[in-house]
Amino acid sequence: MKKSKKILTGAISLVLVCSLASASVPVFSAETGTDSGVIFATGFEDSEGLDLFSGRGETEVLEISDEAVRTGDKALCISERSESWNGPQFRLDDKCEAGVEYMVSASVKPEWYANVSLSMQFTDSEGTIHYSNVRSVQGDSWIDFKDVKVSFTNDVTDVYLYFEASDAGVKMYLDDFELKTAPVIPIEQDIPSLNKVYSKYFKVGTALTPSDLSSKSFMDLVDKHFSGSVTVGNELKPDYVLNKAATQEYVKETGDDTNPQVSLSAAKSVLDYCRDNNIPVRGHCLVWHSQTPDWFFKENFSDDGDWVSEDKMIDRMENYIKNVFEVVEKEYPTIDFYAWDVVNEAFTDDGKPRTAGSNNESSGSSAWVKVFGDNSFIEYAFKFAKKYAPENCKLYYNDYNEYMTQKMEAVCKMAADLKEKGYIDGIGMQAHLDVGFPSAAQFENALKTYTETGLDVQITELDITTSDTSEAGFKKQAQVYSDIMDAAVKYADKVSAVVLWGVTDENSWRATQYPLLFDKDFKAKPAFYSVVDGLEVPPEETTTTPVTTTTPVTTTVVNPTGLYGDLDLNGVVEMTDLTLLSQHLIGDIKLDSEILKYADVTYDNDVNLSDLSHLKQYVLKEKVILGPQN
Ligand code: 9MR
């Protein structure tokens, strides 16, 4: 059987939800004793374990064997593999719950030296199968995966956990497999909220990926400290948003090969969270050399097509940007997408365009430069973003190492040109820093320089690595964090947001260098205390208890059939009505036909996107007429 693989770059975890009582799997075992968090464990001493694993391909043979064992007398042997992705898989979503965090432990031995991966597979709401590498280790002896966190969200199905080995022909042995629920560690409630202490200066936020949502402790930290802004860590990037099958289908149906089709399905869980919790979102990102498939730039949207002409790419870019803004408006009309990174990382540190070529073939190269010959694509991107973005959404150029002199000069020059044309609103400084470099003074100088362009500045991906994990090392990290935040406060009238690139060290893309404000146990680090130290904690909002009288208050019930736009029939036209209409239009819910009549706020006998847009303007107090007077 041939399987095509789409590898997700974002970390994914899997969850098993398990009600032990209803789980149809055996709750094991002598080896794990009575640990109540254990959902399933096996040392493959009998056939119980064998029954729950199957081969991913068509050729593998799975059998209990004593050829190689980690503990006990037996292990699972997987032979006759014919592809690197062949191996034993374990179905999760029939035993476990979405949105819960689990931990997997297992020992795997390849027959000879190979890269062994613990991966997962799931099918998204559009039927696309995704594969994601959770953890990889190389070796030729027993490799122990210990308490690897996995989870899945409620919008996916057919979730499997599996092991694969880089060398197709190598036999694999699996022993001591265990799946258990991850413990929920309470977060510290008695510390100030980061977002609140900075609220008079700017928003404070973080980046989130779908797997983060399954950790209660993690999300409690997001809720307490980072609810000022969320950036979707990976799932709004072109490689997630571009839908290849739908794009090719569109070409087939229309003959038009300039209209890339898009989907927000990968970002759904994070965006639903932001919508439900009223969290403003930074869109990241529209035009980037990285995490963008080559087929986007090739004739017929085909991997092996020729590179398209600049003219054709301009059309594709315009349609891509248009389609993204449209789908966001349609599916999430109530989210405040207050910022979008229009172009990401277009300059090298010496202020030049990137090398022309495929980033997927040669890391750091840019297919945009390949097609345009230079960085002239930047202006087109901003022009189109300006044309299609809603008015309240600010448009940013975003990059790393922006304190490097030549890069800073190039960014400032580009920003000045675009500002002149009215296309750009701000500059995003990613700020992936290290305690040793750059100095806080150098960073502050860059920040000041960018504010002098007259544009808004946001620190968009802040993290500060340290390789010294002694008390002194973390103290130094705290000092650098404090200096960087002081600089942001100093220019606060020109800085509208500071976004950390993650919450806990363990979930960072630079986990081995402990770059964030909270440790793996969700505890605030010295760096956290250094950035809240000395800042005033705003008083908690108090809710006044309404005075009750003995006479029951009669609410005037507005006749629901008379109020256009009131889809939950509560007598008020508000955000929830907008959400209901958008959910109806995208097919998530079906509004009753009686209610639907009052969704036709443009009064043209049809309920469609223009009703959504009209209703949104009404809710945002931009337009006041709904229904028959329209
Ligand atoms: O955090 C992201 C990580 O999970 C991805 O593997 C990586 C791949 O490109 O992208 C990371 O996010 C990057 C961001 O989009 C742009 N600035 C640098 C960030 C860290 O690499």
Mutate to test the pocket of ligand 1, among 359, 399, 501 (most ligand atoms within 8 A of CB): 501
Q: Is the pLDDT of residue 124 over 60?
A: yes
Q: CA 378 to CA 382: how far, in whole Å?
A: 6
Which atom of ligand 1 sits closest to the CA of residue 9? 6
Ligand 1: centre distance to CA 586 (Å) = 30
Give me the mean pLDDT over the 201-209 stretch: 98
Enumerate residues 6+ apart whose C-beta is below 8 A from 16: 39, 92, 93, 95, 96, 97, 100, 102, 150, 179, 181
Active site residue 461: yes
Give me the mean pLDDT over the 18-44 stretch: 52
Ligand 1: centre distance to CA 234 (Å) = 7
Q: CA 309 to CA 422: how far, in whole Å?
A: 27
What pLDDT is recorded for position 550? 38
Helices (H), 345-469: 367-372, 377-388, 405-420, 440-451
What pLDDT is recorded for position 34? 39
Q: Is the pLDDT of residue 553 over 80?
A: no
Q: Is the pLDDT of residue 556 over 80?
A: no
Mutate to test the pocket of ligand 1, among 509, 513, 516 (most ligand atoms within 8 A of CB): 509
Q: State the pLDDT confidence band at 603, using cuts at 50, 70 and 90.
A: confident
In contact, 182 and 38? CB cutoff 8 Å:
no
Q: Which of 247-251, 274-278, 498-502, 561-565 has the lowest mean pLDDT?
A: 561-565
Q: Is the backbone peptide bond immediately before 13 cis, with ω within 30 degrees of 0?
A: no
In contact, 565 and 577? CB cutoff 8 Å:
yes
Q: How far is CA 527 from CA 305, 400, 439, 504, in A?
A: 50, 21, 16, 12
What pLDDT is recorded for position 568? 86
What pLDDT is recorded for position 561? 58
pLDDT top residue among 129 and 34: 129
* Distance linking the first and last C-alpha atoms of the chain: 58
Which atom of ligand 1 sits closest to the CA of residue 284? 15
Enumerate residues 6+ apart whose C-beta is below 8 A from 115: 136, 137, 138, 165, 166
Task: Please name the helix (run of DSSP H) or strand (run of DSSP E) that holds residue 459, with its range, or none.
Answer: strand 456-465
Residue with tokens 């337009």: 623
Give me the mean pLDDT over the 543-552 stretch: 42
Q: Is the pLDDT of residue 406 over 60?
A: yes
Ligand 1: centre distance to CA 517 (Å) = 18
Burial class (CB in 10 A: 0-12, 13-18, 19+), 571: middle
Ligand 1: centre distance to CA 9 (Å) = 9
Task: Please pick, among 164, 329, 444, 461, the residue that the annotation labels catalytic.
Answer: 461
Task: Please pick, among 101, 331, 345, 402, the residue that the annotation labels catalytic.
Answer: 345
Which atom of ligand 1 sits closest to the CA of residue 290? 9
Give me the mean pLDDT over the 243-257 stretch: 97
Q: CA 169 to CA 151: how far, in whole Å?
A: 30
Mutate to test the pocket of ligand 1, among 461, 504, 516 (most ligand atoms within 8 A of CB): 461
What pLDDT is recorded for position 589? 86
Helices (H), 74-211: 194-197
Q: Global pTM?
A: 0.81
Give me the mean pLDDT over the 450-471 stretch: 98
What pLDDT is recorded for position 630? 65
Ligand 1: centre distance to CA 277 (Å) = 25
Residue with CA nearest ligand 1 atom 4: 10
For the beta carbon of residue 27, count every other beta carbon within 10 angstroms: 15
pLDDT top residue among 394 and 627: 394
Q: Which of 125-139, 190-204, 557-571 has the lowest mean pLDDT?
A: 557-571
Residue with tokens 């806080």: 440
Which tokens is 443 given? Answer: 């960073």
What pLDDT is recorded for position 496? 98
Percent of the chain's residues with pLDDT above 70:
90
Q: State the pLDDT confidence band at 19, using cuts at 50, 70 and 90.
A: very low
Q: Which residues of 603-626 are buried (b: 16+ CB within 10 A; e: fewer)?
A: eeeebeeebbbbbbebbeeeeeeb
What pLDDT is recorded for position 560? 56
Which atom of ligand 1 sits closest to the CA of residue 285? 15
Taking the CA atoms of residue 353, residue 355, residue 357 and residue 359 in that order, the dihedral angle to the nearest 10 degrees is -90
For residue 418, which phi and psi values (nearest 5 degrees)?
Answer: -70, -30
What pLDDT is recorded for position 623? 65
pLDDT top residue among 546 and 152: 152
Give me the mean pLDDT over the 135-154 stretch: 95
Residue with CA nearest ligand 1 atom 9: 291
In contact, 418 and 382? CB cutoff 8 Å:
yes
Question: Which residue, among 360, 187, 213, has the nearest Cα to 288 in the 3D structure?
Answer: 360
Percent of the chain's residues with pLDDT above 90:
79
For the beta carbon of residue 537, count every other beta carbon within 10 angstroms: 11
What pLDDT is recorded for position 541? 59
Residue 72 φ/ψ region, left for φ over 0, alpha for ψ in the -120 to 50 degree band, beta for the rest: left
Ligand 1: centre distance to CA 269 (Å) = 19
Q: What is the pLDDT of residues 462-496, one digit of tens each?
A: 999 999 999 999 999 999 999 999 999 999 999 99
What pLDDT is recorded for position 474? 98
Q: What is the pLDDT of residues 304-327, one digit of tens each?
A: 999 999 999 999 999 999 999 999
Q: Per DSSP, what are the bridge partners of residue 123?
A: 129, 157
In contact, 321 and 377? CB cutoff 8 Å:
no
Which atom of ligand 1 sits closest to the CA of residue 237? 15
Residue with CA nearest ligand 1 atom 21: 509
Mutate to test the pocket of ligand 1, among 206, 234, 366, 508 (most ligand atoms within 8 A of CB): 234
Residue with CA nearest ligand 1 atom 10: 234
Q: What is the pLDDT of residues 45-97, one digit of tens each?
A: 999 899 999 999 999 999 999 999 999 999 999 999 999 999 999 999 999 99
- Ligand 1 shell residues, CB under 6 Å: 9-10, 233-234, 290-291, 400, 430, 461, 509
According to DSSP, the β-strands at 7-8 and 129-139 are parallel
Q: Is the pLDDT of residue 11 over 60?
A: no
Ligand 1: centre distance to CA 7 (Å) = 15
Ligand 1: centre distance to CA 157 (Å) = 26
Q: CA 413 to CA 407: how far, in whole Å?
A: 10
Supply the mean pLDDT for the chain. Answer: 90
Q: Is the pLDDT of residue 252 over 80?
A: yes
Q: How far is CA 318 from CA 315, 382, 388, 461, 494, in A?
A: 5, 10, 9, 27, 30
What pLDDT is recorded for position 579? 87
Q: What is the pLDDT of residues 355-393, one digit of tens each?
A: 999 999 999 999 999 999 999 999 999 999 999 999 999
Q: Per DSSP, what are the bridge partners of residue 339?
A: 282, 394
